[in-house]
A and B are shown apart, each in its own frame.
Chain A
Amino acid sequence: MSRNDTTSSLRSRLPGFLQGVDTAVVTAFACIVVLLLVGSLYSSSFLSPDYLLQQLQVGSFLAMAATGMMLVVLIGQIDLSLPWVITVGAMMSTAAAGWGPWGPVIAMPVGILFGMLFGLVNGIGVAYLRVPSMIFTLGTNAVAQGLMVVRTGGAAPQDMATDSMHFVATGRTLAGIPNPVWIWVVVGGAVVFLLKRTTFGRSLYAIGNRERAAYLSGVHTQRIVVLAFVVSGGLAAFGGVLLAGYSTKAYQGMGDPYLLPAIAAVVLGGTSILGGRGTYLGTVAGVILITLLQSILSIIQMPEAGRQIIYGVTIVSMLLLYGRSARMRT
């Protein structure tokens, strides 16, 4: 409580448009600047526009997953089925590419559709069966994995991305900026609109704060929860489709390295893991932060062991900076 008082007095001295900004978001952006400076010490090309655009391109795959995760975290739940829903999106889109002459056209929508299907199952389990999302999404993750193992093991599947998928994930159509970055801008804009201007977005925050109260004030909480999971599944699968286009193929376990960064990006961006509080700008900051951190670690050729350690320590120390919950006494 006292922490907020000191920041609010500081905040009143800021220009008007900055006063509404979250402390967490500001800290996250400050950390991004620090990372950029650290990176430029190692390599002079680190600050070049081309390199930074490339980082944004790589980051946009994570951004899709993190955006979906954020919606779910906002309602106080978590989606641990993300790794294999990403893989499902990638595998089903490449598979659909082989279905007859229309294959390449329907490839991307099919991938996303399967992701939304898993999201629907998650949502029904969490909203209507009242199973804790942590355990239910673990279950759907295992089912998704099992389905993909059966699918790829049963018959030799088509796992090559179509040319259009490759183009969407790597091409640069407008202003020399990679396509995925534009997609991120569009998706991000849509989510900001959703969160700020629609009843759906407001309901997400309300449910995250107290589902019982949201229900009593007339929100169809269960429908909203299902919808949040469907969007999350669709976005995760879309990230998988882009990833498949980027690496030109789909493979087992391609989503596994994304769970931790997606949760970390959301939480580092100031979204409360308990739900009800957070801004999309924060998630953008979180994604950039994680992407830069990963890129610096790979530039200095840090071995995997060191990466994991630095990664964990950074997340904990940043959260200790600004992600602490209130003391019980108050």
Chain B
Amino acid sequence: MSDFRYKFAEHRSTLLAAVVFVVMFCIYAGNHEAGFSANVVQTAANKGVLLALLAVAQTFVVLTAGIDLSVGTVFILTNCLASWIVVGSPAMTALGIVGVLAAGLVCGAINGAIVIFGRLQPIVTTIATGAVFFGIALLLRPDPGGDVNSDLADALTGQLWGGIPASLVVLLGVMLVIWLPFRRSMLGRSVYAVGSSEVAAYMSGVPTQRAKFVAYMLSGLFAAMGGLMLTFFTYSGEASSTNASTYTLNSIAAVVLGGVSLFGGTGSAVGAIFGALIFRTINDLLFVFDLDPLWQPLFLGVVLLVAVCLGSVRLLQIRNRLDFFG
């Protein structure tokens, strides 16, 4: 029984995010003119999965108490790359996908190498590498365009039997194959340990460098999956700096909404996914309730601001003023 209580406490923020999302989505679907139909769910899922993948990418690095401001540009870079190489026969397409994912891994490895072996701060490093990644994306696609294997794209963005959106299944599959084993592995626990206290982790013999490196690589990999999915949705590549920065910022917002601490060491990628879905649903709700499009950016900003302030409720419980400066 007490074991259950600990488990509950551990996953409380994830559960909270999930409940909030379900409630919000029900309000959304209930007020949508097409109702709770498979098409509504499919559209919402396709838009949500993109941000969800980036939120997971961000989670890996945030868990190590770092931040990755280049997830958006890796996302755009791999989108541009995919619009070149994920075409042709099934074999060619498969090779192209491997290439895109490898590119993401390389981007993550570069970030990780600079942060770990170059001993630079993650925030500055990823701002700079983000500029480089975006430059390469511009080289690949000076103008929007390109193509993608449309059979595969349709399959991955369409519906399965029973109206289940395929993109959600992809997300679920990826999480089962990568996140779950990672979370249960020694390396996964090391990432959490590094985020809680790097010095303590180092002193207790945790392979801190390897853990951080893997976290950055996985971040790049998930950002590349996002880029790949974006190509499947749009059938093209576009080096848009607005998209890059919007997705980076939204990935951070999603992570915070999903209960992952920016100070590192707590939270889970599942929570971040629900955070991403919540953030997307806010957008959809504004649409359903017919808010003037002019007011939407302001409303989203205020929601974001209020959401991050919710965490300060804990300040009310502080007895010793020194704990303020934790």
Which A residues lie at the B interface, using CB under 8 A?
78, 125, 129-132, 134-136, 138-147, 149-150, 153-154, 211-212, 215-216, 221, 256, 260, 263-264, 267, 273-274, 303-313, 315-316, 319-320, 323-328
Contacts and interface: CB of A to CB of B under 8 A. Distances in A.
Contacts of A319: 118, 120, 124-125, 128
A134 B123 contact: yes
B205 interface: no
26 contacts: A135-B253, A138-B252, A139-B304, A143-B302, A145-B298, A146-B295, A149-B294, A150-B294, A154-B294, A212-B322, A215-B322, A260-B127, A304-B135, A309-B136, A309-B139, A311-B128, A311-B131, A311-B132, A312-B129, A312-B130, A315-B124, A315-B128, A316-B132, A320-B118, A326-B119, A328-B202
Interface string B80-113: 0000000000000000000000000000000000
Contacts of B298: 143, 145-147, 149-150
A78 B123 contact: yes
Main secondary structure of the interface of B (DSSP, over half): helix
A149 B119 contact: no
B312 interface: yes
* Chain B residues touching A, range: 35 or more
B287 to A, nearest CB: 16
B67 A134 contact: yes
A139 B305 contact: yes
Contacts of B123: 78, 134, 273
Given A139-B301, A146-B298, A328-B202, A316 B138 contact: no
B252 A135 contact: yes
B309 A316 contact: no
A312 B135 contact: yes
A326 B120 CA distance: 10
Residue of B128, B142, B199, B311 with highest tally of chain A CB at under 10 A: B128
Given A134-B67, A328-B199, A308 B120 contact: no
B304 A138 contact: yes
Contacts of B133: 312
B263 interface: yes
Main secondary structure of the interface of A (DSSP, over half): helix
Given A139-B305, A310-B135, 5 more contacts: A135-B252, A136-B309, A264-B128, A323-B120, A326-B119
A313 B132 contact: yes
A308 B325 contact: no
A305 B142 contact: yes
B233 interface: no
A2 B263 CA distance: 30
B134 interface: yes
A110 B305 CA distance: 25
Residue of A134, A143, A310 with highest tally of chain B CB at under 10 A: A143
A312 B305 CA distance: 30
A306 B294 contact: no
A327 B322 contact: no
Contacts of A320: 114, 118, 120
A139 B311 CA distance: 14
Nearest to A78: B123
